[in-house]
Amino acid sequence: MNPVLSRFESWCKIPHPSGHTEAMQAWLVSQAASLGLECESDAAGNVLIRKPASPGREAAPVVALQAHIDMVPQPLTGRDWTREPVVTRLVPQGEDAEFPEATLLKAEGTSLGADCGIGACAMLELLAGNESLPALECLFTVDEEVGMVGANQIRPNWLRARYLLNLDTESEGVLMTGCAGAVDLTARFRYGLATVIPEGDKAVRIRLSGLQGGHSGMDIHLGRANACKLICRFLKHAVVNFEARVASFNAGSLRNAIPRDAEAVITVPGEILSEVIDEVAYYGELFRDEYRGIEPDIQFVAEACTAPGALLPEEIQDDILNAVEAACNGVFRYSPDYPGLVETSSNLASVTTQPIADSNTPAGETVVLCLVRSQAEEMKRWLASSLQSTFQLGGARVEFGAAYPGWELSPDSKLLSRARDIYKETFGQAPLVTSVHCGLECGVLSALYPDMEILSFGPTVHHPHSPNESVEIESVDRFWTYLKALLASF
């Protein structure tokens, strides 16, 4: 087995969801100590391990390598991601219907964490190996998946390298020279709860599941269903046509994952309860038809349940449903420079309703999370402002946070020229040079180190941030071969 994949098996045994990477940080520090290498951690939890140049390579420039150590845990329910390991499984060539030509590594019913575990394990293998290499600075960052938290806290003088290789690109044979910037948007609706249930009303629990989800940047152009949007569509229909009242509405989870499931509790007049349950079944068929060929496993079901203790006020319920339905979701604009590349998008990532515990009177809050991405800073601002207007018109308080810039490497970069040449020498064909519609820490690092040349590449990872995530085994072999060849060229 490729040594990177062997190391990845050990990596997967250590829980490392975003926000809970302490065990992985400690393990990295212990690995550096066992190798006798210089190692530092900063206040954020980022780990930097330095390896001196091999004999005879002392005159070569220092090269930094960088990958994040956190992963997006999907699904969130049914397991304790802070304690349970990721269990991997090999899918032989021909056994995966979507990618029959490839041998894949997947996880058992969860996201795999190849984003960015493979890159991190390649760095560890280089630190432990005997290849003739220039001096290396291996930077392992934390909480990339929740807003570049670790990268944003790196101090300006920590890295000494002139060149940096980010190992977080998810298509082997592609050199990434640009990425989208992003900004988080949070809309909060606060209200007093209605504690009187309409006389004669019965409660219904509605569940939406089976959606594919995926990476909110890499997969946003695929037209996959958004669970927040679909369940909101039905809830508004039920309010208008069946006198429904909403008690709770919860959909999605993480900002950077397309929402896969949703659940709501509503009340309806008791005499039409069975009609409403039948209407849910009808909408399930409708959704499967509308997303045929894209979402084959949509499940939309309803059942009678215990009456809720409170309801959203009728006018607030309408404001929330109207705002969620109106909010832009998906591709907003394609790049005028790169045909087929998404330039600007938004992911309506989650909606949650919850009581406010410290209120003197029964009160609740509905929170909507969105993530706006764009290669163009002004387009990012425009779309974020549009979403802000949508939610403010509905009466929400809107906050922005965790913004980070995009990044673009100059086409005249010496690093890019070297990387192209080495790829062609190694594999007999030119790599694809392009940009990607997702956030990479390259944007944060290039702003922090403006004189540093940064390039990104990696193995082929399919459907990151979802239980369908997989990495192509052959692409890991090629990625590893290329990484060693490129470093050897300095």
**Per-residue three-class SS string for 222-269:** HCCCCHHHHHHHHHHHHHHHHCCEEEEEEEECCCCECCCCEEEEEEEE
Residue 88 φ then ψ, to 5°:
-95, 160
Cis, peptide link before residue 116, omega less than 30° from 0: yes
**Which ranges in 291-366 belong to alpha helices (H)?**
314-326
Residue 200 amino acid letter: G
Instruction: Tell me how far apart the alpha carbons of residues 267 and 317 are, in angstroms, rounded to a whole number.
Output: 13
Bridge partners, residue 105, by sequence: 90, 471
Report helix angle 473-488 to 3-12, nearest 10.
110
144 is catalytic: yes
Task: Point out the catalytic residue in the list 70, 125, 319, 469.
Answer: 70
Task: Point out the catalytic residue in the list 115, 125, 143, 144.
Answer: 144
49, with CB counted inside 10 A (0-12, 13-18, 19+), is buried
Q: Which two tokens stand for residue 375?
A: 């290669």
Q: Pick the closest to residue 387 from 221, 187, 227 (CA basis).
A: 187
Bridge partners, residue 181, by sequence: 374
In sequence order, the 6+-apart residues with CB closer than 8 A to the CB of 406 are: 178, 179, 180, 181, 374, 375, 376, 377, 380, 443
> What is the separation of C-alpha 338 from the centre of its chain, rounded to a whole number of angstroms?
23
Q: How many angstroms separate the Cα of 479 from the Cα of each of 176, 435, 446, 458? A: 14, 18, 23, 6
Instruction: Tell me how far apart the alpha carbons of residues 238 and 231 are, in angstroms, rounded to a whole number.
Output: 10
Do residues 188 and 396 lie in contact, with contact meaning Cβ atoms separated by under 8 Å? yes
Residue 438 amino acid letter: C
Q: Which two tokens stand for residue 268?
A: 């309806």
Residue 386 belongs to what H/E stretch? helix 377-393
Do residues 9 and 88 lie in contact, with contact meaning Cβ atoms separated by under 8 Å? yes
Q: Which two tokens stand for residue 228?
A: 């927040």
Residue 43 amino acid letter: A
Report helix angle 22-35 to 114-128, nearest 10.
20
Do residues 86 and 107 lie in contact, with contact meaning Cβ atoms separated by under 8 Å? yes
Residue 300 belongs to what H/E stretch? strand 299-305
- As annotated, the active-site residues are 70, 144
